[in-house]
Amino acid sequence: MRPEFAASWQRAAAGEELDREDIVNLLAAAPGEEEEALYRLADGVRARMAGDEVHLRGVIEFSNYCRRRCCYCGLRADNARLHRYRLMPEDIVAVARQGVELGYGTIVLQSGEDPWYTAPVLAGIVREIKKMGVAVTLCVGERPREEYALWREAGADRYLLKHETANEELYARLHPGMSWQERLQCLQWLRELGYQVGSGNIIGLPGQTLADLADDLLLLRQLDVEMAGLGPFIPHPATPLAGEPAGSLELTYRVVATARLVIPFAHLPATTAVGTLAPNGRQKALQRGANVIMPNLTPTRYRADYQIYPNKICINEGPEDCRYCLEGMVRALGRRLGRGPGHTLKPIPA
């Protein structure tokens, strides 16, 4: 082990607060001994903080219309080749019911930024799903504070809005017409409104450095997030980043493992993007710090059109397939399915 890695690993093992240099040292773990030590430590912290339960959050991708032009995303408004779809409110509620019957304790409603769903329409959907006794997470992008407030009043428990990258300049390049400050403002509002907040970033974006990724983890710590989605960049052919290389799977594992050390109480999903890059990717992530999986509940006929990146897994499966496949995966790892909503892991303040 190189001395600088060993020193930062020791500090992490002693539960000390890691600074930017420590985080860079951990993210730079070399294959072999260093990576193994990092993964072992992260898996131990996961076991202590989150236990052996793996929470399943059923995701409904209810619309692929999007007004944004994010340079990495296949749903971007400029992608004229994409067949666009919208699920009607009653259909979204029916799919959610299917998810509840499959035993999911959380329903996640995700879409492109689609103004067709006005705040009252989404509030109505949230209210119907809340009657089923599950947690509801929204992931529909940037909206005015009043709209977030309305959904919170309707019973929404959590909100997922990834900051995507903590490097403001890189953010500006990848998000034409958007502002990093505004995204942070949205995260602040969500916090003030009492949501359990999820954020996160993309790993392996063109031009991104290890120091940028360290800043991502420091920002997540500063935001005190309840959840962090950390997934590799996967180039989509119908975007300006089509020719760029994908993010590295190994780097993604190192980011997930280091995140478990920097924000030990956060729920960390083994992302679908990791599963897309490697058939056993999600299993490995679960053994290196992750404790959540987000199975797809979207009706099969729409799945192929919700390709934020290409070759997304499970586009030919149905909701039940994903439910039972994942239960098998979790059991094979010696873990068990979470029960109930799987709310925040943070200690309740005295």
Kindly tell me the burial class for residue 63, based on how many C-beta atoms sit within 10 Å of its own C-beta (0-12, 13-18, 19 or more): buried
Whether residue 139 is annotated as binding a ligand: the answer is: no
Report the run of H or E that residue 328 belongs to, with start and end: helix 319-332
Closer of 5 and 302 to ligand SAH (Cβ) = 302
Task: Tell me 257's DSSP state.
Answer: H
Whether residue 314 is annotated as binding a ligand: the answer is: no
Closer of 68 and 343 to ligand SAH (Cβ) = 68
**Cα(199)–Cα(229) distance, integer angstroms:** 6
Shortest spacing between CB 272 and ligand SAH, in angstroms: 9
Helices (H), 142-237: 145-153, 168-174, 180-192, 210-223
Shortest spacing between CB 212 and ligand SAH, in angstroms: 15
Whether residue 71 is annotated as binding a ligand: the answer is: no
Shortest spacing between CB 30 and ligand SAH, in angstroms: 25
Whether residue 70 is annotated as binding a ligand: the answer is: yes
Bridge partners (DSSP) listed for residue 63: 86, 111
Closer of 214 and 294 to ligand SAH (Cβ) = 294
Backbone torsions φ then ψ of 293, nearest 5 degrees: -130, 145
Those residues whose C-beta lies under 8 Å from the C-beta of residue 23, and which sit 6 or more positions away, are 8, 213, 214, 217, 218, 258, 262
Shortest spacing between CB 239 and ligand SAH, in angstroms: 7
Whether residue 73 is annotated as binding a ligand: the answer is: yes
Chain contacts with ligand SAH (rule: CB under 6 A): 72-73, 110, 112-113, 139-141, 161-162, 164, 202, 231, 233-234, 236, 273, 308-309
Q: Which residues are annotated as a binding site?
A: 66, 70, 73, 164, 183
Q: Which residues are annotated as a binding site for S-adenosyl-L-methionine?
A: 164, 183
Q: Which residues are annotated as a binding site for [4Fe-4S] cluster?
A: 66, 70, 73
